[in-house]
Structure 1
């Protein structure tokens, strides 16, 4: 487990990456039009490479921790699904829907996995990849259903999940790691190179999102409610429950980091698609990204 000052040092590096993203947006290098392509590159190529590489040195002890992680993540997302809407029941429907969605479907994959990898190394990558399995399932099913009431095609949903590059990386990485297959050096070096770009590019992309948000009435009632629920209450409950249950320290640390991650980068996009409160969604994304950079090390100090 990294010390508080090591974690703070890592967070300061991430802040510099984020500021580079803000500058890139202000200079027109990253725009609202080309950012989706950058995010797609990160999520569909670079992050899967990182996940796949992380399984090179997997052991049965790590698999045991992974199973524990899978159960914990499933319980967390099930609980948020069932009670998350309660915190926003008094708000207008167009706000309540996007708030419940953002509370359930945070940026655990896009922002969380690179940060966990920076803090905990390859073991962190594996545990985070397993944690993201329930995250993906809930995002593709429950998450979208929170935004719009419609019949879901189960076959299409399952195919979408199975074909997700991150899920495929977990599956094939697990097979490769357990079978101890030795890949050619040039492939290993290529994966190492691609993996090394995940954290800086992810944070730069997040910085470009921050740079695009207008600052008017940033801390309105709904935003403050979200900050309390998603950024403070949920991580605190996760930390306390896992500590009381004497869960492995690495697993606790990873789960706490994932719990402090901001609203997903797609939240404003989906708000626009389903005619919800786009301005609120943008503010949630902006405020939670900024706070997560400081809350992660603060919560980890108590792990």
Structure 2
């Protein structure tokens, strides 16, 4: 166990606190979010612009960011590391999805389900990735997008099932009532059967829609394409194209390393990537301007849910990552580094996913609670962000996460 404590943790923390790049990223985040809030309150921005900005970020900016993150060198060890992060992600959502509901056991089922899903699913894509990219640069892109694969699978499956179930049960009960009533008055039960059939068809359509959201999501598609391009660099003999960015360097690359083999196309995706972070932060500011802090903070459930979201959930992710790092270190199967640790924890400290709030509104399951929780959690996420960066820096400085 001695190797856990070999590194100079204090020195790493002091270095981080004295790093202008760290504080520049934090201040830039806060300033642009505040700018979005201020311009919305002033009336320069319209409150409904949030939806447009989010759409641009999700459909254009983040897919480009996800793809570009994989335009880098790799190795067998690096692939093993990212697969370990993928496994951490799947286990995190399974474990947290099981245990979190017991922290809300005193509440009625609708409230418990809403709070659980808000705690489990953070806005890792829209809120988390722009921030970790600003903090850690290109190195954070691969682990962030790998970790988001299980996030999207569970968000559109577990999240949908839990948030829509009570309404589906209610509708089915009403349909049965209609059927019984028709039979009681001696009418033909065909009408009731038709009603039940329509309900089943609606439920089936909802499932298909969510499957499309998982597998046809532009961010996930860009991630899978980028990951494929990235991994194929390990194929023997595939590096045959001379470096087009530095003529005469003598370096050879895979044809799929577009940043080196076809710079014009890479420039396009790089330009689109650049719109992601500022638009995301402005949209967050608009979101904050739309909410009522006084009303939100008067609800004890909102306070409790906020602390669970920005402290408990990332703490579970931190513990799970430490366990996996220890297993990898002991067995030599993989190596998790400080960047991977920080990316996982910071993304999990983000406010609740907007998809969960959308489910809450669509299925009439505590929409006011989830909206207020998102509002307060967004504010507190910004406040605790530097703390989590310092914590992960300190733990990441131990030899558990260093070579």
Whether the TM-score (by the shorter chain) exceeds 0.5 is yes
Written as runs of structure 1 = structure 2, the 5 A alignment for 1:152-171 is 156-171=209-224
CA distance in 2, matches of 1:255, 1:297: 14
Aligned to 1:214: 292
CA distance in 2, matches of 1:118, 1:251: 15
Aligned to 1:195: 273
CA distance in 2, matches of 1:296, 1:51: 22
Aligned to 1:127: 143
Out of 104, 114, 134, the position equivalent to 1:88 is: 104
Aligned to 2:365: 276
Aligned to 2:29: 14
Written as runs of structure 1 = structure 2, the 5 A alignment for 1:255-274 is 255-274=344-363
Deviation of 1:157 after TM superposition, in Å, equals 3.8
CA distance in 1, matches of 2:355, 2:227: 29
CA distance in 2, matches of 1:123, 1:197: 19
Give the count of matched residue pairs: 303
Distance change in 2, residues 1:237/1:105 (3 Å): closer
Out of 55, 66, 72, the position equivalent to 1:57 is: 72
Q: Larger C-alpha radius of gyration, 1 or 2?
A: 2
Aligned to 2:16: 3
Aligned to 2:154: 138
Whether the 8 Å contact between 1:62 and 1:123 is mirrored in structure 2 is: no
Aligned to 2:315: 236
2:296 aligned counterpart, secondary structure: coil
Cα root mean square deviation, aligned: 2.2
Q: Which moved more, 1:238-247 or 1:17-26?
A: 238-247
Whether the 8 Å contact between 1:267 and 1:282 is mirrored in structure 2 is: no
C-alpha distance after superposition, 1:171-220 (max 9, x if no partner): 21123333522533222222222112211111110110000001233222
Written as runs of structure 1 = structure 2, the 5 A alignment for 1:87-106 is 87-106=103-122
Structure 2: 5+ residue runs without aligned partners?
1-11, 169-202, 234-253, 327-335, 393-403
CA distance in 2, matches of 1:223, 1:69: 31
CA distance in 1, matches of 2:346, 2:320: 15
Aligned to 1:41: 56
Deviation of 1:91 after TM superposition, in Å, equals 1.8
CA distance in 1, matches of 2:366, 2:208: 30
2:157 aligned counterpart, secondary structure: helix
CA distance in 2, matches of 1:103, 1:248: 26
CA distance in 2, matches of 1:237, 1:182: 36
Out of 186, 201, 204, the position equivalent to 2:282 is: 204
Deviation of 1:262 after TM superposition, in Å, equals 0.9
Out of 40, 60, 65, the position equivalent to 1:25 is: 40
C-alpha distance after superposition, 1:69-113 (max 9, x if no partner): 101111111111111211112123332222112112210111111
C-alpha distance after superposition, 1:17-48 (max 9, x if no partner): 10111123224444343322221110111100
Structure 1: 5+ residue runs without aligned partners?
none
